[in-house]
Amino acid sequence: MTSVTHTTPTRRLNTLVIDGRMDADRAVLTPRGELVDGCADTLSRTLEELPEDTGGLDMEMGKVVFMDTAGLQFLKLLGSYGHRHRIPVRTAHWTGQPRRILEIVGLDTADPLQLAEPSQAPEPGSPAASAVALEREEQLDCLREEVRQLRRAIVSRPVVDQARGVLMATHSCTADEAWYILRKASQLSNTKLHTVAATVTAAAGGDGADPPEELRLALRTAIAQRLG
């Protein structure tokens, strides 16, 4: 089986690659990258390449690093494929931000193709109920903050993608390496990722002032650590 790489019509540089292999009659697919706009099209093309006698499908999701609402369409397509072909379809090893998105929308992270089942609630008014209510309120506050962070991340994606493209062209590196450089420079210089990306893009176009020395040093260090 072959890998499929997808680039959206707007030529954003975030890609989704799906590696595949057969284990007896089961297909094992490993997506790498981001579940964003166009990911369902990539999955559809991959599913079309599966042998007709495929008896099951396992998706190893541990290498998916980012997911927005397009990831839900990805899951819907998986579920439809399993129902249409009457074969078991499983996803496993969700981690990081994609796992949190599944939790936010109420999906079971162990089996997101099924709705998460609510846990059995304690009797109203009991000490256990009060503790559960407090815990749920704290969890809700955390989820609200993560939703705010996700919205900010979605807004900043275009400039981050442009900066990744600049680094890829300048240093002949991969998209993952460019992403590492941006994040590392952000950490080293204590500068927001969006600001780092905007600075890299502006400098490449000759539109902005020279980056602060601290940020230039952070970028050089990150590049040396990743590509040196």
What pLDDT, in 10s, does the model give residues 9-33? 333 444 799 999 999 999 999 999 9
Contact 204, 198 (CB under 8 A): no
Residues 202 and 164 in one domain: yes
Residues 99 and 131 in one domain: no
pLDDT, tens digit, for every residue of 70-108?
888 899 999 999 989 999 999 999 998 888 888 877 788
Residue ending a domain, among 69, 104, 139, is: 104
Residues 99 and 140 in one domain: no
Q: Decide if 110 is inside a domain.
A: no
State how many domains the chain has: 2
CATH for 94: 3.30.750.24
How many residues in the chain? 228
Q: Decide if 109 is inside a domain.
A: no
Q: Decide if 165 is inside a domain.
A: yes
Residues 97 and 131 in one domain: no
89 phi-psi bin (left φ>0, alpha ψ -120 to 50, beta other):
beta
Residue 95: beta bridge partners? Answer: none
Q: Decide if 66 is inside a domain.
A: yes
Residues 92 and 133 in one domain: no
Range of the domain at 188: 127-227
pLDDT, tens digit, for every residue of 34-60?
998 889 999 999 999 999 999 999 999
Q: Decide if 218 is inside a domain.
A: yes
Residues 89 and 138 in one domain: no
Q: Decide if 118 is inside a domain.
A: no
Residues 142 and 99 in one domain: no
Residues 81 and 23 in one domain: yes
Q: Decide if 15 is inside a domain.
A: yes
Predicted TM-score of the model (pTM): 0.50
Residues 201 and 139 in one domain: yes
Mean per-residue pLDDT over the chain, rounded: 80
Residues 138 and 96 in one domain: no
Sign of the torsion formed by the C-alpha atoms of 198, 64, 116 and 136: negative
End-to-end CA gap in the chain: 33
Helices (H), the chain: 39-48, 70-85, 96-104, 127-171, 175-189, 193-205, 213-227
Separation between Cα atoms, residue 56 and residue 111, nearest integer Å: 15
Residue ending a domain, among 57, 73, 104, is: 104
Residue ending a domain, among 104, 137, 170, is: 104
Q: Decide if 112 is inside a domain.
A: no
Q: Would you say residue 118 has pLDDT above 80?
A: no
Residues 84 and 135 in one domain: no
Residues 23 and 93 in one domain: yes
